[in-house]
Structure 1
Amino acid sequence: MTCDAEELRLRLPHIELAAQAYGPAQGAPVIALHGWLDNAATFARLAPKLNGMRIIAVDFAGHGHSDHRPPGGGYALWDYVHDILLVAEQLGWQRFSLLGHSMGAIVALLLAATFPEKVRRLALVDGLIPPTTEADGAVATLAEALQGRLALSAKRKPVYPSVERAALVRQRGVGHVSFEAAQLLAQRGLMSVEGGFTWRTDSRLTLATPLRLTQAHVNAFVGALNCPTNLVLAEQGLLAHRDGLDQLLAATSISVERLPGGHHLHLDDEEGAQLVADCFNPFLSAP
């Protein structure tokens, strides 16, 4: 089941973000963060199943209906953390829970670890830590990123004749999704152009990350978590075979639920969304 969400515009000092709101205005405050190249519609099936929550599902900068960063800007994870801190401030929320999928889960982790006084609970879907690069790989990583940035002006976004065609392509993209899930993401993520439709997302989002965290950095952020955290891992998801993840989790108090499905199990179908909701309803509503 999906339901109509309330559309919001969040005017931050440096950028304007779009968001979708679910649930009663006086519900428990939750900010929901989507994955890379997705948008707030990733929660269209899950959010209506979370009871008693006021869920603000944000389009990250450069995604969905949110503004793009200004020329010369980038999309570092910590910039997203800054944005969400300002979103919470605008909403008047001193303490709130975070619901994150994939990249959104990573941003949620960084925020919760850095500002523990603000985050009540952390609910994560198939995401926790970013890809890492050790110091000896930093030079090559930066070179690749800057070469991509120099070549970006010569690239053009693909144009699709229909929303359905764009959804078919998205279905086969990173983090394979069902066609129905791809349609939900496409309906929010596309815009009309001459000849058809193209994605609203900022082309800079496809560039390689200039500087990645090392494993030691990741360990420090995970170790700094002190709020209750519930991680849903998809059995066919992107973290299913992540090297070192089990050892990392074993050293934490993070509660882990393993559910059938792929990386977008919360969006692919109603059954998967309900399974995730069954994990998060008691967790997010706990005192």
Structure 2
Amino acid sequence: MTAGAEEVRLNLGHIELAAQLFGPADGLPVIALHGWLDNANSFVHLAPQLRGLRIVALDLAGHGHSAHRPPGASYALADYAFDVLCVAEQLGWKRFALLGHSLGAVISVQLAGALPERVSHLALIDGVVPPTGAQTDAAERLGMALTAQLRREGRPKTVYRTIEEGVRARMSGMVAVSQEAAAHLAQRGLMPVPGGYSWRSDSRLTLPSPMRLSEPQALAFVHRVQCPVCLVVAGEGLLARHTALLEQLPFTQNVLPGGHHLHLNDTVSAGLVADCFNRFFGFP
């Protein structure tokens, strides 16, 4: 359990999600969404530095201590958005803010674009829209995804002999993180199994997407957002490479030093992100 956070479980009917609560009960309602293959500990450095907010940091479905989707189901962005909406309904939040990193930022933008009347603020970290694709590639992509899904069935997870091995594996993943960040993610993400430890995340999360939006479709969500938006771009992260996209965004942008996980890699970088968001939310 993260120091200063309250652990809760939310039964949404179709799935049960785990979450951590930060901040005063009467604070501005915020749902925090982590990145792909991360978990709620993604906000361990950032959330305690944010003032005036009641933050519900979710383990997204298939991540951390949350349940996995049932057999035969997948992890579509729309399903994540529905989960978030159900969490808000259960909490009685008719209007709420979203704080999202990477995948969590993508989900946040899509939900805010789909239902702009429900979202009061968007605080985004190094993420906006999902990877896009050409419309002419749709059939080929679906075939690739279906083949990968068949091959994945029944394949065992990697087992690490020690927690330290699991941490090192996360440090050198597709998006590298610091040892400190990997250790925080491992605290919530590794589980004991025969022979050692394995990551809790659903192995189906690594399957390729069966379809991608075109760029105009992805940007349609961006242009439907009606609430104030603060986007933190990591100077050495993923978004910084997409200058053409950044130039099209009608969002306030703050470029900060650090990598894709700058809010988690160290407390100093997390403090810089917190400064941006505290000003954004009006609690400097």
Q: TM-score, normalised by structure 2?
A: 0.97
Corresponding residue of 1:208: 208
Matched, 1:159 2:191: no
CA shift at 1:154, angstroms? 4.4
Matches within 5 A, 1:42-191: 42-191=42-191
Q: Quote the residue 1:273 is aligned against.
A: 270
Matched residues in 2 for 1:7 and 1:199: separation? 20
Shift of 1:151: 0.4
Aligned-pair CA distance for 1:13: 1.6
1:284 aligns with 2:273: no
Residue 242 (structure 1) shift: 1.8
Shift of 1:225: 1.0
| Alignment partners' CA distance in 2, 1:30 and 1:141 | 35
* Contact 2:231 2:253 survives alignment (8 Å): yes
Measured in 1, the distance between the counterparts of 2:172 and 2:4 equals 27
Q: Which amino acid aligns with 1:238?
A: L
- Matched residue, 1:28: 28
SS of structure 2 residue aligned to 1:223? helix
- 2:129/2:219 contact within 8 Å kept: no
Counterpart of 2:234 in structure 1 is 234
Specify the SS of the correspondent of 1:191: strand
User: Offset of 1:52 from its aligned partner?
Assistant: 1.5
For 1:271 and 1:174, locate their aligned partners in 2 and report how far apart those are by CA, in whole Å. Answer: 24
In 2, distance between residues paired with 1:154 and 1:244? 41
CA contact (8 A) 2:161 2:197 kept: yes
Residue matched to 1:261: 258
CA contact (8 A) 1:171 1:182 kept: yes
User: Structure 1 residue 18 and structure 2 residue 15: aligned?
Assistant: no
TM-score by length of 1: 0.96
Distance in 1, Cα, partners of 2:101 & 2:78: 16
- Structure 1 position 196 matched with structure 2 position 169: no
Question: What letter is aligned with 2:98?
Answer: L
CA distance in 2, matches of 1:42, 1:285: 23
Return the offset for 1:31.
0.3
Q: Which residue of 2 is the match for residue 223 of structure 1? A: 223
Local SS of the residue matching 1:99: strand
Task: Give, in angstroms, the shift of residue 243 of structure 1.
Answer: 5.5
Q: Distance in 1 between matches of 2:103 and 2:154?
A: 27
Q: Which runs of 4+ in 1 moved over 4 A?
A: none
In 1, Cα distance between the equivalents of 2:177 and 2:132? 25
Query: Sequence identity of aligned pairs in percent?
Result: 56
Q: Give the counterpart letter for 1:245 in structure 2.
A: L
How far is the alpha carbon of 1:111 from its aligned partner? 0.5
Q: How much does 1:89 deviate?
A: 0.4
The answer to whether the 8 Å contact 1:35/1:101 transfers is yes
Q: Which amino acid aligns with 2:88?
A: A
Are 1:7 and 1:20, in contact at CA under 8 Å, matched by a contact in 2?
A: yes
1:146-165: CA deviation from partner (whole Å, max 9, x where unpaired): 00100012422111111111
* Helix, strand or coil at the partner of 1:240: helix
Aligned residue for 2:204, secondary structure, equals helix
The CA distance in 1 between the partners of 2:154 and 2:70, in whole Å, is 19
